[in-house]
Amino acid sequence: MVKLTLRENESIQEAVRRFRKLVERSGIKKEMRRREYYEKPSEIKRRARLRAERRSRRTRLLQNV
């Protein structure tokens, strides 16, 4: 949970800007986008497998250089 306390003499625009940064850093925005639509467990596993394959391919290429 993100908490924001207003600083002394802080404008609303500055507070909103700080709040947005806090939400972005905490990962809430990313989590909301991920849960926006239902994703089948098989799709989650497929995406994870493809990501792992790309990562391993990248490390193999970097080791050969």
Distance CA 60, CA 65 (A): 9
Decide: 56 and 48 in contact? Cβ < 8 Å.
no
State pLDDT tens for residues 5-57.
999 999 999 999 999 999 999 999 999 998 999 999 999 999 999 999 999 99
| For the chain, domain boundaries | 12-64
Query: What pLDDT sits at residue 1?
Result: 83
